[in-house]
Amino acid sequence: MKAWIIADQFGIEHLQQVDRPTPVPGPGEVLVKIQAVSLNYRDLLMIAGQYSPKLPRPRIPGSDGSGEVLAIGPGVTRFKTGDRVTGTFFQHWIGGPVSEENTKGALGGPDLDGVMAQEMLFREEGLIPTPGYLSDEEGATLPCAAATAWNALAGNNLKAGETVLLQGTGGVSLFALRIAKIFGAIPIIISSSDEKLERAKTLGAVAGLNYRTTPDWDKWARKMTDGRGVDHVVEVGGAGTLEKSAKATRVGGHIALIGVLAGGTGANPMPILMKSLNLRGIFVGSREMFTNMLRAFEHHQEKPVIDKVFGFDEFPAALRHMESGSHFGKVVVSLK
């Protein structure tokens, strides 16, 4: 079987495709034929050596994959051959609160190989059934970005009628937009592109602002809420946007701290403390959160937004496409 690896050197240009023997499932293990993989910004950081400079190599990248069970090892009870399955981001975080132990074992990171391979072994607890109404490509979009968006909003007790500020139109933000709609909340969104803002409105965003042409989006967000400030921010920008996010948020509101897209270092803590904001770091989520989310998605027949599907040999091109920031929603690699 073929796999992509991060070899000695970091960088998209140094990724290598290799042949590996088909793995044999041991006790409690499931062999999966990977049919689709979705990309996350984390994959770009991992491959660039910026996420984990001491990443053990060779390492197969990719955290989000869906496929079909080819074989099961002794003692496996949750799956059988032919089942359609999707891997969980953290292979050991089944439920309960986040802990050091739970957040070891993320796919395609420092602890474990990832899913950018034609065949892959999982522990049976690290898989969920792919919802029947979703294709493999759609299922593969969910484990990191959608579970993170769910944790950020459902985990911050989002209520109907609350306003949610979203940043950009990447994977996490568009899932958060749709989750806000499921909850009866009011999503507003900023983007680098007027065209993307129009598309976001077709997904349910009630207002949009171009942060390139109007950089003081914090003032806009307050104006959109009659001066009060938004109830929730899904903060994917990080240090470079945090101060504006805090200014955009109402007293006692929530900021789910997720990403690092805007770069920058340091952030002024004053608006955070003077507004008594609830700032919570998010690290994807547990299998329990993932399956709770899937129940809501299935009920609403919620479909992910897929920007473009690439072939297995086009993995580097798919990464370059994501790196360009021109995408809207999820970038997927099909292994079919």
Ligand X SMILES: NC(=O)c1ccc[n+]([C@@H]2O[C@H](COP(=O)([O-])OP(=O)(O)OC[C@H]3O[C@@H](n4cnc5c(N)ncnc54)[C@H](OP(=O)(O)O)[C@@H]3O)[C@@H](O)[C@H]2O)c1
Instruction: Using CB under 6 A, list all residues that contact ligand X.
Output: 40-42, 144-145, 148, 167-172, 190-193, 196, 211, 236-237, 240-241, 258-262, 282-284, 322, 325
- Contact criterion met (CB below 8 Å) for 151 and 131: no
Report whether 217 contacts 192 (CB < 8 A): no
d(CA 322, CA 319): 5
CB atoms within 10 A of CB 262: 17
Closest distance of CB 49 from ligand X, Å: 15
Minimum distance from CB of 38 to ligand X (Å)? 9
Prior bond to 215 cis, omega within 30?
A: no
Give the nearer residue to ligand X in terms of CB position, either 148 or 163.
148
Q: Look at residues 1, 71, 64 and name the one whose alpha carbon lies nearest to residue 31.
A: 71
Nearer to ligand X, 130 or 191 (CB): 191
- Written as one letter, the residue type at 124 is E
Q: Which is nearer to ligand X, 248 or 284 (CB)?
A: 284
| Min CB(83)–ligand X separation in Å | 26
Give the start-end residues of each E strand in 184-261. Answer: 186-191, 207-210, 230-235, 249-257
Which residue lies nearest ligand X, judged by its C-beta?
170
Give the amino acid at 301: Q
> Are 280 and 254 contacting, i.e. CB atoms less than 8 angstroms apart?
yes
Using the minimum distance from each CB to ligand X, give the nearer residue, 25 or 61: 61
Closest distance to ligand X from the beta carbon of 327 (Å)? 6
Q: Compare residues 42 and 84 and give the one whose CB is closer to ligand X.
A: 42
Write out the H or E segment, with its range, that includes residue 72.
strand 64-72
Question: CA 44 to CA 261: how far, in whole Å?
Answer: 11
Q: Judged by CB, which is closer to ligand X: 107, or 145?
A: 145
Where do we find the tokens 């997904």? Answer: 203
Minimum separation from the CB atom of position 52 to ligand X (A): 13
**Can you tell me the distance from the alpha carbon of 188 to that of 177, in angstroms, rounded to the nearest whole number?**
8
In order of 51, 193, 206, 272, 312, the CA distances from 92 in angstroms are: 20, 39, 38, 33, 28
Complex with ligand X: residue 186 or 282, whichever CB lies closer = 282
User: C-beta of 236: minimal distance to ligand X in Å?
Assistant: 4
Instruction: CB nearer to ligand X: give 185 or 190.
Output: 190
Tokens of 298: 């299935």
Q: What is the nearest approach in angstroms of ligand X to the Cβ of residue 324?
A: 8
CB of 17 to ligand X, least distance (A): 23
Tokens of 315: 């993995």
